[in-house]
A = this chain, B = another copy of it.
Amino acid sequence: MNKIAVPLFLALATSVSALAGEGMWTPDSLPKAQIQTQYGFTPDAKWTGRVQRAAVRLAGGCSGSFVSPNGLVLTNHHCVNSCVQQLSTADKDFIKTGFLAKDDKDEIKCPEIELNRLDQITHVTARVKKATEGKSSEDYGRAEKAVKSDIEKECVGNDSETTRCDVVDLYHGGVYDVYKYHRFQDVRLVFAPELAMAFFGGDPDNFNFPRYDLDMGVLRAYENGKPAKVADYFPFSKNGADAGELAIIVGNPGGTDRQLTIAQLESTRDLDLIPTLFLFAERRGLTEQFRSESDEHWRIAQNDLFGIENSYKALRGRLEALQDPAVFALKRKQEAELRDFVNADPARKAKYGAAWDEIARALGTYRNIETRYKFIEYGRGIGSKYFDYARALVRGAAERGKPNAERLREYTESKLPSVTQHLFSTAPVYPDYEKVKLAWSLTKLREWLGADDAFVKQVLGKESPEMLAKKLVDGTQLGDPAVRKALWEGGADAVAKSDDPFIVLARNVDPQSRAIRKQYEDQVESIIDKNSELIAAARFEKYGTRVYPDATFTERFSFGVVKGWDEKGVPVKPFTDIGGAFAHATGSYPFALPESWLAAKDKLNLQQRLDFVTTNDIIGGNSGSPVINRNAEVVGLVFDGNIHSLGGDYWYDERLNRTVAVHSGAILEALRKVYHADRLADEIEAARKR
């Protein structure tokens, strides 16, 4: 399942039709009548509020849920994989062995995980629209940014450590809401199975079904050094998911593009997906070979490789959707219908008629600058954690000196806690691996911009990418979180005086980098934003309000049923069982079961359902979401979509798209019989009994 890995630079929009299963609904506008008709169930305000607050978001790009009053959080292994890797050393490789905290005191802090619980949604559409009204595209973008920063700062107040506020742009400018979250930054690892079981079948089986994975991970939120007390959480259901049952998924789908214009879809395909895939494929090959060089390299690179392979497969699925002439034909038809509707009325035409061509024009500009934008500003060209730190320090120092509303959006007051969490993280940085990644990305910078490009010459000088990477990495102190903290706290002065080679580099390239970003924001993003909003308004006029907004990595509810599908005439059953995992094991990576499972085989209930599929409409970012029943009990744990779901970025096809989840019964069976994690299983089951 894809974590949010590759923002594709393009705007979001709204979706019109809402077939059974389709739709990612905001908590404050569930399609109650439709749910009642389809499933005989009406979520009331109390139910909805409880579910809203029992679910959590992992700020890095996943979802999860509280499953006990003591802050226990259930999510996926692949959502905590980076933490598991960061806590591992050459001697203790938790990726291989798994991790189990025997007691509270064994629970170890994850250096980079932040949890967000959505506590409140406030409508701010009128305020935002008033601020941008009548503005031309450059000013429009600036005004929008300023008012959003103000709203977020007001919402956070003085509680920035525990409160996070994000203005969310729904229906692409149709609705603006501010989402107020409770923020947990002390998040500790409680349990992770071996990667071999969490990701049984590995990349070959990723996005496939039948599956036999226990893709689970357990965290605990802490506050003031103690397990956080939470009022809302999901108990486990007694029996777990059953066929035909209503399945509700609450989580944070990262982004969909279901209402892009034809020009945007073509631009996505040719300028974003294809070049990105070329780079992913190359980096994948590089990382595979690096990983194969030693056990230590395997451990260091494993999590990165998972992310690369996962994104690569997901983006290839999206590309295939955009290579399907039938999909484009449908999109063309829908666009033509809406444009005909607009053009049929002179007032509407005057208001909305030019929006599509304006977007196409902005994309023409994007075509000319996108490579430079992605390589210089967006992080493709100087690919190293050290450089990311250096840029955050250089920019953070500069931006904190400005009024909140004038800052780059990622350095506004409400965003600073996330910046410092990453900056002060104790996660290890591996210099040899950084050299490889950095040298490679510098080579790509030179390749895509050209050896004679002024920016390339400025960065490389007379050195080869390999030499420069070695010099920078060998010379930097930024691997030490204390050094980073001192520079952050020292502010503009400390940064200006630093002769750390990465700080020097980040300082030197910042003007060009800001310039290309400004060009992108003023000449592309603002124009697309503004005109997408016009199209969204036209769509509201035509189709009314029974629509759901494109995904925005904010909390959404999805309603579906536990159900298999028909694969080219062959029915695919909705469940696998634990016996199937043993039947599919070959003993060879990635189809080798771990020792713990082989040893426990005799004790296990081989008929226990292991994984299952549902018709719910989800997308990357939903990883780790609970699957709950109408009683708000956990029946499963989302970890993937089937191969057909990869086109879900652009449309939903109920016949084929499926969510893939771990069965709640398998979680308890494994915790007790394989991992002897009775403390944990007891806590989960106690929650049911309360």
**Interface residues, chain A, with chain B CB atoms under 8 Å away:** 201, 203-205, 208, 270, 274, 277-279, 281-290, 292-293, 316, 319, 323, 436, 440, 446-447, 450-451, 461-464, 466-467, 586-591
Given contacts A285-B440, A289-B289, could you give 13 more A-B pairs where the C-beta distance is less than 8 Å? A278-B278, A278-B281, A282-B285, A285-B285, A285-B289, A286-B286, A286-B288, A286-B289, A292-B436, A293-B293, A461-B586, A462-B586, A466-B589
Tell me the smallest distance from the CB of A268 to a CB of chain B, in Å: 13
5 shortest interchain CB distances as A-B pairs: A285-B285, A285-B286, A289-B289, A281-B281, A464-B588
User: Hey, which chain B residues are within 8 Å of A277, CB to CB?
Assistant: 278, 281
Query: How far does the alpha carbon of A278 sit from the alpha carbon of B288 in the complex, in Å?
Result: 15
Can you report 9 residue pairs joining A to B where beta carbons are below 8 Å apart?
Answer: A204-B451, A274-B274, A277-B278, A277-B281, A286-B289, A293-B293, A462-B587, A463-B586, A464-B589
User: Hey, which chain B residues are within 8 Å of A270, CB to CB?
Assistant: 323
Query: How far does the alpha carbon of A588 sit from the alpha carbon of B451 in the complex, in Å?
Result: 13
Closest partner residue, chain B, to A590 (CB atom): B464
User: Hey, which chain B residues are within 8 Å of A287, CB to CB?
Assistant: 285
User: Hey, which chain B residues are within 8 Å of A288, CB to CB?
Assistant: 285-286, 440
User: Which of A282, A316, A319 is most buried by chain B, counting CB atoms within 10 A of its CB?
Assistant: A282
Residue in contact with A447 in the complex, picked from B204, B279, B450, CB distance below 8 Å: B204
Query: How far does the alpha carbon of A421 sit from the alpha carbon of B287 in the complex, in Å?
Result: 37
Contact indicator A588/B463 (Cβ below 8 Å): yes
Query: How far does the alpha carbon of A217 sit from the alpha carbon of B292 in the complex, in Å?
Result: 37
User: Hey, which chain B residues are within 8 Å of A467, CB to CB?
Assistant: 588
User: Hey, which chain B residues are within 8 Å of A289, CB to CB?
Assistant: 285-286, 289-290, 436
List the number of copies, as a whole number.
2
Closest partner residue, chain B, to A467 (CB atom): B588
Query: Known: A285-B286, A440-B288, A588-B463. Contact between A450 and B274, CB under 8 A?
Result: no
Query: Known: A204-B447, A451-B204, A462-B587. Contact between A285 and B281, CB under 8 A?
Result: yes
User: Hey, which chain B residues are within 8 Å of A323, CB to CB?
Assistant: 270, 274
Query: Known: A278-B278, A464-B588, A588-B463. Contact between A205 and B451, CB under 8 A?
Result: yes
Contact indicator A451/B282 (Cβ below 8 Å): no
Contact indicator A201/B451 (Cβ below 8 Å): yes
Residue in contact with A284 in the complex, picked from B285, B451, B588, CB distance below 8 Å: B285
Tell me the smallest distance from the CB of A126 to a CB of chain B, in Å: 41
Closest partner residue, chain B, to A271 (CB atom): B323
User: Hey, which chain B residues are within 8 Å of A278, CB to CB?
Assistant: 277-278, 281, 316
Query: Known: A203-B447, A274-B274, A293-B293. Contact between A462 and B588, CB under 8 A?
Result: yes
Query: How far does the alpha carbon of A586 sit from the alpha carbon of B287 in the complex, in Å?
Result: 29
Closest partner residue, chain B, to A275 (CB atom): B316
User: Hey, which chain B residues are within 8 Å of A279, CB to CB?
Assistant: 281
Contact indicator B446/A204 (Cβ below 8 Å): yes
User: Hey, which chain B residues are within 8 Å of A587, CB to CB?
Assistant: 462
User: Hey, which chain B residues are within 8 Å of A450, CB to CB?
Assistant: 204, 208
Closest partner residue, chain B, to A589 (CB atom): B464
Closest partner residue, chain B, to A320 (CB atom): B270
Query: How far does the alpha carbon of A598 sit from the alpha carbon of B284 in the complex, in Å?
Result: 38
Query: How far does the alpha carbon of A459 sit from the alpha carbon of B203 in the complex, in Å?
Result: 18
User: Hey, which chain B residues are within 8 Å of A436, CB to CB?
Assistant: 289, 292
Query: How far does the alpha carbon of A481 sit from the alpha carbon of B112 in the complex, in Å?
Result: 56
User: Hey, which chain B residues are within 8 Å of A285, CB to CB?
Assistant: 281-289, 440
Query: How far does the alpha carbon of A447 sit from the alpha carbon of B319 in the complex, in Å?
Result: 17
Query: How far does the alpha carbon of A436 sit from the alpha carbon of B288 in the complex, in Å?
Result: 10
Query: How far does the alpha carbon of A323 sit from the alpha carbon of B447 in the complex, in Å?
Result: 20
Closest partner residue, chain B, to A204 (CB atom): B451
Tell me the smallest distance from the CB of A205 to a CB of chain B, in Å: 6
User: Which of A281, A447, A463, A466 is most buried by chain B, counting CB atoms within 10 A of its CB?
Assistant: A281
Query: How far does the alpha carbon of A201 sit from the alpha carbon of B589 in the complex, in Å?
Result: 41
User: Which of A201, A204, A283, A447 is most buried by chain B, counting CB atoms within 10 A of its CB?
Assistant: A204
User: Hey, which chain B residues are within 8 Å of A464, CB to CB?
Assistant: 588-590
User: Hey, which chain B residues are within 8 Å of A203, CB to CB?
Assistant: 447
Query: How far does the alpha carbon of A246 sit from the alpha carbon of B362 in the complex, in Å?
Result: 44
User: Hey, which chain B residues are within 8 Å of A463, CB to CB?
Assistant: 586, 588
